[in-house]
């Protein structure tokens, strides 16, 4: 194993040791033989909360995340000139994770009918333009999010022998099948 890769893995493990422990504790031994990985919504919550805390300067808070009925539900509050509550539903439209491609495409819709929705769309676009998300392979458009895991993780760090297939999003878990 490359020394730099090992150092990177150890840094990530140290930074996210609570999340990694939560992820490992949520792996079900009954799934080991089935090739199933279940990612709990608590893990996404922890990762998003850390990113938001670092990047939003306190303007985004009170985050909630839930996986259910095929959707990822996210709610949070934004404080700019006034406090706005935001609720959105995210659906996985396309997920490709194989030797040729490592991408995901999501659609999102803000819940509720309000003049605030336009302000939130503008805030999301501004946040994505003013952050380093583009360099990391995350593009936020009108009601869409695309992710390049090669850019996000690093092209040479994703093993080409690993294939993940999105199965479902339900009961607080995002479920993938893996093939090695």
pTM of the model: 0.71
**Is 1's pLDDT higher than 50?**
no
User: What percentage of the chain exceeds 90 in pLDDT?
Assistant: 19
Q: Give the per-residue pLDDT at 39.
A: 86
Arithmetic mean of pLDDT, 77-105: 87
Q: Are 143 and 164 in contact (CB under 8 A)?
A: no
Arithmetic mean of pLDDT, 116-127: 64
Q: Are 95 and 104 in contact (CB under 8 A)?
A: yes
Q: Are 120 and 78 in contact (CB under 8 A)?
A: yes
**Is 86's pLDDT higher than 60?**
yes
Arithmetic mean of pLDDT, 25-40: 66
Arithmetic mean of pLDDT, 81-108: 89
Min mean pLDDT across 67-71, 100-104, 116-120 is at: 116-120
Q: How far apart are CA 122 and CA 120, in angstroms?
A: 5
Give 146-168 pLDDT, tens digit per residue.
888 888 777 677 777 778 899 99
**Is 10's pLDDT higher than 80?**
no
Arithmetic mean of pLDDT, 7-20: 57
Q: What are phi and psi of 37, to 5 degrees?
A: -120, 130
Q: Are 36 and 174 in contact (CB under 8 A)?
A: no
**Highest-confidence segment of 26-35, 41-50, 66-75:** 66-75
Who has greater pLDDT, 163 or 70? 70
């Amino acid at each position: 194993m490359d020394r730099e890769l090992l150092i990177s893995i150890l840094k990530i493990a140290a930074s996210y040791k609570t999340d990694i422990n939560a992820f490992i504790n949520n792996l079900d031994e009954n799934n080991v033989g089935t090739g199933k990985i279940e990612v709990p919504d608590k893990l996404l919550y922890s990762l998003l909360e850390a990113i938001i805390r670092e990047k939003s300067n306190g303007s985004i808070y009170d985050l909630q995340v839930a996986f259910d009925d095929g959707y990822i539900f996210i709610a949070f509050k934004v404080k700019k000139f006034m406090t706005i509550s935001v609720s959105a539903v995210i659906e996985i439209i396309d997920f490709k994770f194989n030797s040729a491609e490592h991408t995901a495409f999501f659609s999102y819709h803000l819940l509720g009918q309000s003049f605030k929705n336009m302000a939130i769309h503008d805030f999301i676009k501004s946040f994505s333009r003013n952050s380093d998300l583009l360099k990391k392979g995350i593009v936020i458009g009108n009601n869409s999010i695309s992710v390049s895991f090669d850019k996000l993780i690093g092209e040479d760090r994703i093993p080409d022998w690993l294939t993940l297939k999105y199965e479902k999003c339900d009961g607080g878990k995002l479920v993938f099948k893996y093939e090695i």
